[in-house]
Amino acid sequence: MSEITLIEKIQALKKEKNAVILAHYYQNGDIQDVADYVGDSLGLSIEAKKTNADIIVFAGVHFMAETAKIINPSKRVLVPDMSAGCSLADSCTPEKFKAFKDKYPKHTTITYVNCSAEIKAMSDIVCTSSNALKVVESVPLDTPIIFAPDKNLGAYIMKKTGRDMILWDGACVVHESFSLEKLIQLKLKYPKAKIVSHPESEQQILKYSDFIGSTSEMKEYIIQSDADVFIVATEEGILHGLKKLVPNKILVPAPIYDDNVCACGECAYMKVNTLQKVYNCLLNETPEISISAELIEKAKVPIERMLQIK
């Protein structure tokens, strides 16, 4: 089936089933193009909460679809491929995290949205890279904090706030794949380029960055900046929409260590989803995210606390 035919069939099914497609910036370009909304984790959470659709097709990774289900327990949440996981979320299992938390019983637990529903249910409040700073600052100064599961984001927030947090030892394989040596070489090639990085990146990359922010913040910075060239240190999917918005600017993906794969930072989990799978899941209404009512109630509390912070 051609891409044009697939898109037409997907659009028809959306109308027929009162469905909405939410896609993360890291999805393949054709999926972003057919989506009703494309955004980062915070934007997607907000959009999922306010949608009037009966069915949400979540083109992202598993924990994102879980979040949409937790916020909308009465709606059906479908995913193109259930195997679209997350290395960061996988690094923090409920059993290990409980044992970790038990060591610090007086600490407030803040978890990055990149974690499973079970981990969210064990948290006091959830955050995204867009609002992590505000969430941490909302906790009284005399209250100690556990921050999980991303140690790089946690370290960045610690530096910004001066808070001494206990960090879970987890990281995103994509954001830890960027090579500082190759980045410096690329900067020599584009001396006027602005280096724009996601805070999940390692400290050595952030140190040389001109701007650090979530995917939506990086996007806005590039749009608003007077610069003409940008080296972008995050998953390369963000470049798809940006190239349409700033066609006269040069966008270069930050180089990674491994020369045997693509030169850019690409998330294999995000790329598991395809346009054909989006169509299949909408047509057959499967795979579907299923979470127990008890777990939804527990996990919803820290998510709602996050959404209340402006």
Q: Using 50, 70 and 90 to split pLDDT, how confident is the model at 310?
A: low
Asked if 53 and 186 sit in the same domain, the reply is no
- The pLDDT assigned to 49 comes to 85
- Pairing between β-strand 166-167 and β-strand 211-212 as defined by DSSP bridges: unpaired
pLDDT of residue 20: 96
Based on the domain organization, do 220 and 281 belong to the same domain? Answer: no
Calculate mean pLDDT across residues 282-287. Answer: 97
- Residues 20, 158, single domain; the answer is no
Residues 3-59: pLDDT tens digits? 778 999 999 999 999 999 999 999 999 999 999 999 988 788 889 889 999 999 999
In the chain, alpha helices (H): 3-17, 29-34, 41-50, 62-71, 87-90, 94-102, 117-121, 132-137, 151-161, 180-189, 203-207, 215-224, 238-245, 275-284, 293-308
193 and 144 together in one domain: no
pLDDT band at 263 (very low <50, low <70, confident <90, very high): very low
As for how many domains the chain has, the answer is 3
* 140 assigned to some structural domain: yes
Which residues are paired to 109 by β-bridges? 146
Q: List Cβ neighbours of 49 (8 Å cut-off, separation of 6 or more).
A: 71, 72, 307
Q: In the chain, what's the furthest Cα-to-Cα distance?
A: 60
User: Do 164 and 302 fall within a single domain?
Assistant: yes
Distance CA(154)–CA(163), nearest Å, equals 10
Residue 222 sits in which domain range? Answer: 180-253
So what's the pLDDT on residue 258? 67
Q: Indicate whether 78 and 99 sit together in one domain.
A: no
Torsion of CA 4, 5, 9, 10, to 10 degrees: -30
CA of 269: how far to CAs of 32, 85, 160, 199, in Å? Answer: 16, 6, 30, 20
> What is the pLDDT at residue 261?
46
Q: Tell me the per-residue pLDDT of 208-259, one tens digit each, with 9 for 90 and over.
A: 999 999 999 999 999 999 999 999 999 999 999 999 999 999 999 999 986 5
Residue range 111-122: average pLDDT?
96
Mode of pairing for the β-strands spanning 229-233 and 194-197: parallel
Q: Does residue 231 lie in a domain region?
A: yes
In a domain, 197, yes or no: yes
Average pLDDT over residues 264-290: 92
Amino acid found at 209: S
Pair 302, 123: CB distance under 8 Å: yes
Report the CATH number at residue 54.
Answer: 3.40.50.10800
Phi, psi (5° rounding) for residue 22?
-105, 130
For residue 184, give both structure tokens.
């410096």
Does residue 168 share a domain with residue 301?
Answer: yes
Q: Does residue 264 lie within any of the structural domains?
A: no
Q: Is 223 helix (H, G, I), strand (E, B) or coil?
A: helix
Residue 264: per-residue pLDDT: 53
d(CA 41, CA 31): 16
Q: Which residue has the tokens 């995290």?
A: 97
